[in-house]
Chain A
């Protein structure tokens, strides 16, 4: 199977690939020159005019990019101001008589982080056909990373512990279970783990981890990318056992993880178990709300009419036998059918 991945290009980026090109996760697809910190360029003094009058001599408009030695202002009598290096012109201060310029820095690569064939290139985006499967999540954190998948827990409901992370996990994308603490995430990042896939995580622990990473980045102590993907929800939520089995079958496959957009591509993989709203009797289901969040089971039957939950809401509900042996009545709205992964 294949899926299309879109790499958005910022204004001014220069694509380096063409349609049909086979790209690797670390390959540079395009380049851009990001603007750096603003600097002032004296205009009035150079033109020997008052700051207000010099404003009328500008030959460029704010927001435009000027290449090195391009004309910024001229008085029509031979006096000119040219920009010393390629810059973004942002504004003119009529009190100071100076222009605010943001010099364009060195070329910066734009990496796709996916492996596949380029199917479309335009100024806004590059599209890549990825030979593999897409596993969508419900949340995440961090940028884009790639690495080999590695199962790091035994059961889908297990918590990913800091002790499970060692030098052997460096550069890998770990598949954890029902949660990971901020301490575990910090250790994973420090050990060079590329990313972590979890059933759930406590929102507070993810925010705490993000806050410490931000502080470390601000003081220059953190380099390298790290991403987290949540598949099921927030809190202590196990992975769907069917999906966990699919991950087990693809242990060692290369994958690309996009934390912020909550997506995981697994290469050379068949489709993962699909999800469907409105399960039917006999379906394998996964529950999404407490007290059964993350538990999988079988929907034995639909309860006729409406059933009042413990919260008192009358709903359509079904009887579910969960895989831990518990049988409970669950609102159908809180269940998704987990369809088995297609054979092959």
Chain B
């Protein structure tokens, strides 16, 4: 008599522009668990991915499933999210470089558009050069900006006229985000239906109001990618999952997803409301074309080489995005570039009152050591206060976010502990005089004897062991002029910390981190921080840098 053995499997797949991450989930002792994981260049194809997953399953699966594993993986239910096949391309034509041009460009980039050109009437180019530039570009949409709402600046009409002279009929939508009184005049320059007017992002010289323009541009981008089902776009799916996680956990969560090409940041409040921004060139390869990024990465990497070496590395990553750093120096340079890109996503500073920061994307969540992930998040985001750090190392948040609304929470609950890898808790303060005590932290662990307070001086980073699943109550006394972000009502702050693979990080390095000017001093300091974060220590001992 032959017995047919079967199993229930599902596949969670995140297809990025350079890398694909896939997970098999199956029932293990009555619970759904991640039972296999594979990451590979997207160009390797589905067959290779299936074989890799089946190969992993073979080590633990019922032997009676025999050589049917690849077939079972291929037939499994599939939850998939993917990066948009091509980012929308947009040109900004504005009156002023510093005001309307800068605002329009930032709104467009934060909405996920690839801004291929910014032309302003004061950009130093001649009129002929400006015209030649915009006549030579191929874009999917045009954004015209300029003029304040209390005037009718003809310069804004002139900017629109530049677009009208370079754009073919039906040559993509034109968004006018300028002087409100000029909307009709600008619309008359184009065929009917070509233009849409949006609230001025610079209503006057002192005020900037980007959200309406950003929201309009986000909607337009989604419409232009209508061929791809919206909830399966990683830029939509990840924020949905983060929102559901925030609502179910009651935490304020920031997720940063650094991909090969683009990047996403999603900020979710405890009620599940999410604000997300997509940075079309904010991914790792974008660092190659970001002015000053190579210099900043060289300073932050410590031992990865000089600026020219980092520039070569970043260009190589851009040319071959699905390759990997093979040497420690290249890894350090790549992670420093990731840190720079995360910081660029949060150039106005980290949101206040964060409970949890999640790192996603291969460079952050797939770093070989948890301490490296922690440093990219900690130094890139600089979350002031007491914040948990975690990584989506398997890359499941995106695929789970592609589920229908009411099923996302269920999916997160089913996978529970397999969704995120906790790194620990960071206590980041700002202010204080270098060398003086910035905070004095007493850690109370249930079942442990009372410990002496740990003093952390301004400029210092200390790590205390606090393993995954362990909790601790913290009593934090802050030094003069030192803050944890929120207004202080008492000289002591009480907070809870949860453990992880790095531990409890006490960080008094300030916001932003001040690095020594001398290269040798800087390298020594960075090496000490890295050592403190990554050192294996016996339980109970602290690591100081």
Q: Which residues of A contact B (CB under 8 A)?
A: 8, 10-11, 34-38, 61-65, 88-94, 100, 102, 105, 123-124, 138-139, 202-204, 207, 230, 233-235, 277-278, 288-293, 308-316, 330-331, 333-334
Query: Residue B512 at the A interface, CB < 8 A?
Result: no
Cα of A100 to Cα of B320 in the assembled complex, Å: 47
Q: Is the CB of B135 within 8 A of A62?
A: no
Cα of A151 to Cα of B324 in the assembled complex, Å: 32
Which single member of A207, A235, A334 contacts B324 (CB below 8 Å)?
A334
Chain B residues closer than 8 Å to A290, beta-carbon distance: 326-327, 329-330
Q: Is the CB of B316 within 8 A of A331?
A: no
Q: Is the CB of A313 within 8 A of B368?
A: yes
Q: Which residues of B contact A (CB under 8 A)?
A: 40-41, 43-45, 48, 52, 126-128, 131-132, 135-136, 138, 152, 154-155, 157-158, 160-168, 188-189, 294, 307-309, 311-316, 319-320, 322-331, 366, 368-369
Q: Is the CB of B154 within 8 A of A94?
A: yes
Q: Given A36-B128, A203-B315, A277-B41, decide whether A233 and B320 contact each other with a Cβ distance below 8 A.
A: yes
Chain A residues closer than 8 Å to B319, beta-carbon distance: 138-139, 230, 233-234
Closest 8 CB pairs of A and B: A63-B164, A62-B161, A312-B368, A138-B319, A91-B158, A234-B315, A311-B331, A235-B312
Q: Is the CB of B326 within 8 A of A63?
A: no
Q: Chain A interface mostly helix, strand, loop or mixed?
A: loop
Which single member of A36, A207, A311 contacts B328 (CB below 8 Å)?
A311
Q: In the complex, which residue of chain A has the Cβ closest to the Cβ of B328?
A: A311
Some 9 contacts from A to B, beta carbons below 8 A apart, are A34-B132, A35-B128, A35-B165, A93-B154, A94-B152, A230-B319, A234-B319, A290-B330, A311-B326
Which single member of A8, A89, A235 contacts B161 (CB below 8 Å)?
A89
Cα of A230 to Cα of B327 in the assembled complex, Å: 23
Choose among B43, B44, B189, B323 the residue with the greatest number of A CB atoms under 10 Å from its CB.
Answer: B323
9 other A-B residue contacts (CB within 8 Å) besides A10-B166, A34-B135 = A11-B135, A62-B158, A88-B165, A203-B294, A204-B307, A204-B311, A234-B312, A289-B323, A290-B329
Cα of A4 to Cα of B160 in the assembled complex, Å: 35
Choose among B158, B319, B330 the residue with the greatest number of A CB atoms under 10 Å from its CB.
Answer: B319
Q: Is the CB of B325 within 8 A of A313?
A: yes
Chain A residues closer than 8 Å to B313, beta-carbon distance: 234-235
Which single member of B128, B138, B163, B189 contacts A102 (CB below 8 Å)?
B128
Q: Is the CB of B161 within 8 A of A11?
A: no
Chain A residues closer than 8 Å to B327, beta-carbon distance: 290-291, 309-311
Cα of A63 to Cα of B156 in the assembled complex, Å: 12
Q: Is the CB of B164 within 8 A of A64?
A: yes
Chain B residues closer than 8 Å to A36, beta-carbon distance: 127-128
Choose among B160, B166, B307, B324 the residue with the greatest number of A CB atoms under 10 Å from its CB.
Answer: B324
State the Cβ distance, B311 to closest chain A Cβ, in Å. 4
Cα of A89 to Cα of B164 in the assembled complex, Å: 10
Which single member of B157, B307, B320, B328 contacts A288 (CB below 8 Å)?
B320
Q: Is the CB of A313 within 8 A of B161?
A: no
State the Cβ distance, A124 to closest chain B Cβ, in Å. 7
Q: Given A202-B308, A277-B43, decide whether A333 and B322 contact each other with a Cβ distance below 8 A.
A: yes
Chain A residues closer than 8 Å to B165, beta-carbon distance: 11, 35, 63-65, 88, 90
State the Cβ distance, B123 to closest chain A Cβ, in Å. 14
Cα of A233 to Cα of B315 in the assembled complex, Å: 8
Q: Is the CB of B43 within 8 A of A313?
A: no
Q: Is the CB of B312 within 8 A of A62?
A: no
Cα of A8 to Cα of B168 in the assembled complex, Å: 13
Which single member of A92, A203, A331 contacts B312 (CB below 8 Å)?
A203
Q: Is the CB of B128 within 8 A of A37?
A: yes
Chain A residues closer than 8 Å to B162, beta-carbon distance: 63, 90
Cα of A1 to Cα of B259 in the assembled complex, Å: 37
Q: In the complex, which residue of chain A has the Cβ closest to the Cβ of B42?
A: A277
State the Cβ distance, B198 to closest chain A Cβ, in Å. 20
State the Cβ distance, A208 to closest chain B Cβ, in Å. 10
Q: Is the CB of A288 within 8 A of B128?
A: no
Q: Given A102-B128, A234-B319, A313-B368, decide whether A61 and B158 contact each other with a Cβ distance below 8 A.
A: no
Q: Is the CB of B326 within 8 A of A61?
A: no
Cα of A36 to Cα of B477 in the assembled complex, Å: 68
State the Cβ distance, B386 to closest chain A Cβ, in Å. 30
State the Cβ distance, B290 to closest chain A Cβ, in Å. 13
Q: In the complex, which residue of chain B has the Cβ closest to the Cβ of A137?
A: B319
Q: Is the CB of A309 within 8 A of B326?
A: yes
Choose among A94, A123, A316 the residue with the greatest number of B CB atoms under 10 Å from its CB.
Answer: A316
Q: Is the CB of B161 within 8 A of A63?
A: yes
Q: Is the CB of B326 within 8 A of A334?
A: yes
Chain B residues closer than 8 Å to A330, beta-carbon distance: 326
Chain B residues closer than 8 Å to A35, beta-carbon distance: 127-128, 131, 165
State the Cβ distance, A306 to closest chain B Cβ, in Å. 10
Cα of A196 to Cα of B130 in the assembled complex, Å: 29
Q: Is the CB of A313 within 8 A of B324?
A: yes
Q: Is the CB of A333 within 8 A of B323?
A: yes
Cα of A112 to Cα of B34 in the assembled complex, Å: 55
Q: Given A124-B168, A234-B312, decide whether A63 and B138 contact each other with a Cβ distance below 8 A.
A: no
Cα of A308 to Cα of B166 in the assembled complex, Å: 53
Cα of A204 to Cα of B295 in the assembled complex, Å: 12
Cα of A312 to Cα of B534 in the assembled complex, Å: 13
Q: Is the CB of B168 within 8 A of A123?
A: yes
State the Cβ distance, A31 to closest chain B Cβ, in Å. 14
Which single member of A37, A88, A289, A308 contacts B320 (CB below 8 Å)?
A289
Which single member of B126, B154, B308, B328 contacts A204 (CB below 8 Å)?
B308
Q: Is the CB of A333 within 8 A of B40?
A: yes
Q: Is the CB of A62 within 8 A of B316?
A: no
Q: Is the CB of B326 within 8 A of A331?
A: yes
Q: Is the CB of B154 within 8 A of A316?
A: no
Q: Is the CB of B160 within 8 A of A102?
A: no
Q: Is the CB of A289 within 8 A of B40?
A: no
Q: In the complex, which residue of chain B has the Cβ closest to the Cβ of A312?
A: B368
Q: In the complex, which residue of chain B has the Cβ closest to the Cβ of A123?
A: B168
Cα of A88 to Cα of B128 in the assembled complex, Å: 11
Chain A residues closer than 8 Å to B314, beta-carbon distance: 203
Chain A residues closer than 8 Å to B168, beta-carbon distance: 11, 123-124
Q: Is the CB of A316 within 8 A of B131?
A: no
Cα of A94 to Cα of B158 in the assembled complex, Å: 12
Cα of A331 to Cα of B328 in the assembled complex, Å: 14
Q: Is the CB of A88 within 8 A of B41?
A: no
Cα of A94 to Cα of B152 in the assembled complex, Å: 10
Q: Is the CB of A102 within 8 A of B131?
A: yes
